Structure formats: structure tokens, C-alpha cells
């Protein structure tokens, strides 16, 4: 079940990446193009698509590729922490609280799931040492 969860949550990152690329195109073709957003949004969009592909690939052998999934959990929980800080400090919009509901549980499942799948410690996952290598 965790394998399918990782696969499909990873696949959903393709949509988020496409959204970032669409945002970049929107910035570029606007009546008044916004400087400084096109390149970061294009790069972020493609990076999210790479992350999607990596998660889908990692889900096929979670024991050997656990650090990829684990680190993606850290990325998602970083997004949660950023929203918790940014919204009350007027650095983000209130609608971004929705990311907490999406990325929070996914990130927690990734972080808690990989040590259970691999028998590896949290530190082992953090240091990219799957259980098969630690042996």
C-alpha cells in the first residue's frame, strides 16, 4: 500500500510542476511581464517533474531507494514549516495553508514509512544509507 501511495503522490508532482511552468508562461506573456519570475518558475516546474519521476522510480524498490523518498518527505515538511512561518508574517497568502493539509501528511508518511520499510534508522535514511548497505 505504501508503494502505491509513494507512486501516486509522486505522480501528482507532475501536475504541480506543469502548474509552475504554466505560471512561468503566464508571467512571460502578461501585458507587463514580471522580471525575475520566469526563470525560477521554469526551473522549479521542471525540478518538480524530476522529483515526480524520481519518486515513481523509487517506489519500485523502496528498500534500496528509501533515501529518495525520505528526503522528499523532508522537502514536503519544509514547505509546511515555510507556510506556518510565512502566512502570519505576510510573506504568503492564506490559501497556502492548504499545503499543510496536503504536504504535511504526505511528508510525515514518507518520513515514518521509510524506516519501517527498510529497518533503517531516521539518521540512516537522512545519511542515505539504506538498510541493505548498513548491513
**132 pLDDT tier (thresholds 50, 70, 90):** low
Angle of helix 98-118 relative to helix 62-86, nearest 10 degrees, comes to 150
List Cα–Cα distances, 49 to 78, 84, 134, in angstroms.
18, 25, 30
Compute the distance between CA of residue 44 and CA of residue 40 in angstroms, rounded to an integer.
Answer: 6
**Over the stretch 43-82, which tens digit does the pLDDT of each residue have?**
999 999 999 999 999 999 999 899 999 999 999 999 999 9
Furthest-apart CA pair in the chain: how many Å? 59
The answer on pLDDT for 12 being more than 90 is yes
Structural domain span for residue 33: 2-134
pTM as predicted: 0.86
Compute the distance between CA of residue 20 and CA of residue 114 in angstroms, rounded to an integer.
Answer: 28
Compute the distance between CA of residue 58 and CA of residue 69 in angstroms, rounded to an integer.
Answer: 7
**What percent of the chain has a predicted confidence (pLDDT) above 90?**
80
**122 pLDDT tier (thresholds 50, 70, 90):** confident
Number of domains in the chain: 1
**Over the stretch 18-47, which tens digit does the pLDDT of each residue have?**
999 999 999 999 999 888 999 999 999 999
| Cell numbers representing residue 30 in the block | 502578461
Amino acid at each position: 500500500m505504501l508503494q502505491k501511495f509513494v507512486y501516486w503522490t509522486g505522480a501528482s508532482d507532475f501536475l504541480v510542476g506543469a502548474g509552475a511552468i504554466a505560471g512561468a508562461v503566464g508571467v512571460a506573456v502578461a501585458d507587463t511581464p514580471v522580471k525575475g519570475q520566469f526563470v525560477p518558475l521554469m526551473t522549479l516546474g521542471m525540478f518538480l517533474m524530476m522529483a515526480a519521476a524520481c519518486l515513481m522510480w523509487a517506489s519500485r524498490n523502496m528498500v534500496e531507494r528509501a533515501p529518495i523518498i525520505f528526503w522528499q518527505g523532508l522537502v514536503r515538511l519544509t514547505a509546511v514549516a515555510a507556510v506556518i512561518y510565512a502566512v502570519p508574517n505576510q510573506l504568503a497568502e492564506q490559501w497556502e495553508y492548504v499545503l499543510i493539509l496536503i504536504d504535511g501528511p504526505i511528508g510525515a508518511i514518507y518520513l515514518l514509512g521509510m524506516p519501517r520499510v527498510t529497518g533503517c534508522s531516521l539518521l540512516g535514511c537522512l545519511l542515505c544509507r539504506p538498510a541493505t548497505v548498513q548491513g
